[in-house]
Chains A and B, each alone.
Chain A
Amino acid sequence: MTSATVSVVGQTKESTVRTGRIVLYVALTVGAILMITPFLWMVLTAFKSELEITKFSWLPGELRWSNFVEAMQTAPFLRYFRNSLIIAVGETAFTLAVCTTAGYALAKLPIRGAKALLSYFILLLLVPFQIILVPLFLIVKSVPLFGGNNILGQGGIGWLNSWWGLIIPLGAAPLFTFLARQFYVSIPNELAQAARVDGLGEFGIFWRIMTPLIKPALITICVFQIEAAWNGFLWPLMITTSDSMRPLQLGLAIFAQNPAEVQWPYLMAGTALATLPMIVMFVFAQKRFVEGMANVGIKG
């Protein structure tokens, strides 16, 4: 802070500033502790024995690493992990492809009614997933020529219980088109013009000139989409029927299904393992991520 020139006034001001800082730090720290405690508790519980968890305690008597190993063996966690990974990667790739192209077209190309199209995508942001749940299920069930369906989409199960069904309907959310568009808009047109004069085609301009400039947006889209896919629950619950397709969250929920028989240490070990990748990802991406969010909010 700036040093005060008038000493007496300066000192009282400085001391109130200092008290203010201390209050701020204490408040933020208490808040942070409230946010983290449940996780700490989860990790600590994951190390406890069945006996220890029957009454309240903080620290485990000994660190039972074997809980993690046994948890992995009780349920096919490795398979759940793999499934979640496939869904997350698939959905993110799909989203990046569809949403950056659409966002670019909305922001930089002279298509008729670009304004109206933008309003359309913003309006779609407001449609909650649950509202379209039932019809979406029926549509996915009747995708033609998949899962034993005929060309009219009858007779089979369509995309139910398939990677297609898990990945495609939930990818490419309008939010990401909107987000990408907000970023492309802020890039000066001269760049594209110069490239045009140099004879680069429209797709080349999009792919080689403009898209590399919106890295924060791409990172934000990736973080959001991976997170959403990793944490998805309701949709996979509805459309998967076989254990071999189930993602992580369903595996965990099935673990907690019967309150009388829940093996808490195992469940906590599984939950900790499921959460860890997302936390690590956020720690690495947080700075770019905040930049990314800034553009959606401000220019929205």
Chain B
Amino acid sequence: MSATLERPGPALATPRTVAPGKDSRRLIRGQVRAGWLLIAPALLHSGIFIVIPVVFAIGLSFTDYSFGDSWAWVGFQNYVDLYNDQDFRAALVNTILYAVVVIPISMALSLLIALGLNQKIRGLGFFRTAFYIPTVTATVAVATIWLWIYNPGSGLANGFLSLFGFAPSAWLSDPGTALPSLMVVGIWQGLGTKIIIYLAALQGVSRDLVESASLDGAGRWQRFAHVTWPALGPVQFFVLITSIVGTFQVFDLVYVMTKGGPGTETTVLVLEIYQNAFQALRLGYASAETVIMMILIAIFIGLGRLLQRADVND
């Protein structure tokens, strides 16, 4: 480490310091200046394109702004309206349902697959690529393929089921199966990233620990429960948070596959926001919706933290 400015006097100067006094101080000042210069663009960019918009969104939610010149403060009116808005309620319920179903299933599945891929197996590159393909593919492309798979007349899903004598289903246009059908696609598409992150983390789990545990006679399950699982803690949290943010953001999938239909069976928050903001041009109202979404995500992340802490205390 280099000497710091706070150091009281030459009495404490270590022999490591190459040039004491003015010279090192000048060097450090140079480093500080370079540091601020290097970080400035990122601070500026995030300030303009993230922080200001967040503050702006909160402000807009108390207005009736709609792209025009005249607008007025309306207090909590937007929120009151939201409370009575059936479409918004449907979107809220659907989004929470989607998150609650998709997050645990996809996390469990991807951890399982990552554990499998973490063995000494042949064709690792192939498997890695296979599981990652759905993730590199644009959601629009994925949605289009699945639209065709779910096609009631000639799609793959009904074609496959008919092999076992099942009656064809309408999938996306049947209120009972529409949302679950979307969930399947969401889970299927999201596995890849999570697998890669878990796989990377598993490779960092100390081999010595695992080996010494197995020398002590710990079985496969015990090794997982007492060595691997605790070591995955920080990564679990990372995956959980990105999953929460990701599932709440689901949009492209719904936009291409169902547009929220049939009825409001599959509308989600972002679709609602998009429609209110850019089709109905009710920006204030749409902002109120985004604020609710922000609060919801914060609650979910808080819950996730609680879960994680409970897990650590065990």
Chain A interface (Cβ within 8 Å of chain B)?
A: 24-25, 27-28, 31-32, 34-39, 41-42, 45, 53-56, 97-99, 101-102, 104-106, 109-112, 114, 117, 120-121, 124-139, 168-169, 171-172, 174, 177, 189, 193, 196-197, 201-203, 206, 227, 230-231, 233-234, 238, 248-249, 252-253, 256, 264, 267-268, 271, 274-275, 278-279, 281-283, 286-287, 289-291, 293-294, 296-298, 300
Q: A31-B113, A131-B54, A275-B141 are in contact. List 16 more A-B contacts (CB 8 A).
A: A38-B142, A56-B162, A128-B245, A130-B251, A130-B269, A134-B286, A189-B2, A193-B2, A197-B18, A231-B139, A233-B140, A275-B136, A282-B133, A291-B200, A294-B203, A297-B238
Q: Which residues of A contact B313 (CB under 8 A)?
A: none
User: Given that A35-B131, A130-B270, A294-B204 are known contacts, is A172 also in contact with B38, CB under 8 Å in the complex?
Assistant: no
Q: Is the CB of B290 within 8 A of A130?
A: yes
When A128-B293, A139-B56, A286-B129 are in contact, do A45 and B148 touch as well, CB less than 8 Å? yes
Task: Please provide the chain B residues from 28 to 55 with a CB less than 8 Å away from any CB of chain A in the complex.
Answer: 28, 30-36, 38-39, 41-43, 45-46, 48-54
**Closest chain A residue, CB of each to CB of B301:** A126
Task: Give 25 A-B contacts (CB < 8 Å), ordered by A residue.
Answer: A24-B116, A28-B116, A32-B127, A56-B156, A109-B34, A109-B38, A111-B35, A111-B36, A111-B39, A117-B39, A117-B43, A128-B248, A130-B249, A131-B57, A134-B287, A172-B42, A206-B38, A231-B138, A233-B140, A233-B255, A249-B140, A278-B137, A286-B129, A293-B200, A298-B201
CB-CB nearest in chain B for A176:
B42
Q: Given A129-B249, A275-B141, A289-B196, A300 and B153 touching (CB < 8 A)?
A: no
B235 touches A297 (CB 8 A): yes
B95-154: which have CB < 8 Å to A? 113, 116-117, 119, 121, 125-134, 136-142, 144-149, 153-154
Q: Which B residues are in CB contact (< 8 Å) with A32?
A: 126-127, 130-131
The answer to whether B50 touches A127, judged by C-beta atoms less than 8 angstroms apart, is yes
Interchain CB contact under 8 A, A101 and B140? no
Interface-located stretch among B80-88, B222-230, B271-279: B271-279
Residues A139 and B116 in contact, CB atoms below 8 Å apart = no
**Chain B interface (Cβ < 8 Å from any Cβ of A):** 1-2, 4, 18, 27-28, 30-36, 38-39, 41-43, 45-46, 48-54, 56-57, 60, 113, 116-117, 119, 121, 125-134, 136-142, 144-149, 153-156, 158-159, 162, 188, 191-192, 196-197, 199-201, 203-204, 234-235, 238, 241, 245, 248-249, 251-252, 255-256, 269-270, 273-274, 277-278, 283, 286-287, 290, 293-294, 297, 301
Q: Is the interface of A mostly helix, strand, loop or mixed?
A: helix
Contacts A98-B41, A98-B45, A111-B32 given; does A130 touch B131 at CB 8 Å: no
